Structure 1
């Protein structure tokens, strides 16, 4: 849990093509994501979302509120033609990770370390 809610970290890959990287980033620039897609994100009680890229690897960090239900989000997205058009466009750039399940684009990452859970280190000088 964070101050905003629950943190989710998800991974996906881009097709390994620098031109695709540029186009994908352009589609995610401020104001470039279709309003219907942004509305669907907010409607699902996703309170914050960021995507980072390192080479072809994408990392999405989401903060969700108590109303977030991944299954309900999938159903709503499947019924929204604007979101489906966006997903088809993103399919031009994204590819599944080798260990992704069928029809799974973004794969959750497991947290293996938290500084908050570590004992305080003794200060040495």
Structure 2
């Protein structure tokens, strides 16, 4: 099993942040989104927030790849709509490429 950590910022607006958190309640993401996540080889996702910075921790199959997940999502209309909706709340990190949201983090320490 692999573990990956990613980061993105939210637009620093309390109302938008509250709405973003509401969308991330399990009952609001919807079963199609949840199934798409698990079908891509992701076993668990946790998202943590401090102020407007988000950190996502993903546990995946050993052969999981972000490229194959993106390819799966490209044919999933609901998944595409979800990602477009999330752009209402998210903003790229200053060093992100154009239209790049979640940035993969490098582990620098492990106990």
TM-score by length of 2: 0.95
Larger CA Rg, structure 1 vs 2 = 1
Q: Which runs of 4+ in 1 moved over 3 A?
A: none
C-alpha distance in structure 2 between counterparts of 1:8 and 1:67, whole Å? 13
Choose between structure 1 and 2 for higher RCO, CA contacts under 8 A separated by at least 6 residues: 2
CA apart distance, 1:67: 3.7
CA distance in 2: counterparts of 1:103 and 1:58, whole angstroms:
17
- Quote the residue 1:7 is aligned against: 3
Residue number in structure 2 paired with 1:30? 26
Report the count of equivalent residues.
111
Aligned-partner SS, 1:74: helix
Residue 31 of structure 1: SS of its match in structure 2? helix
Any unmatched runs of 5+ in structure 1? Answer: 116-125
Aligned-partner Cα distance in 2 for 1:7–1:101: 23
Using the size of structure 1 for normalisation, the TM-score is 0.85
Q: Distance in 2 between matches of 1:40 and 1:30?
A: 14
Aligned alpha-carbon RMSD (Å): 0.9
Unaligned runs of 5+ in 2: none
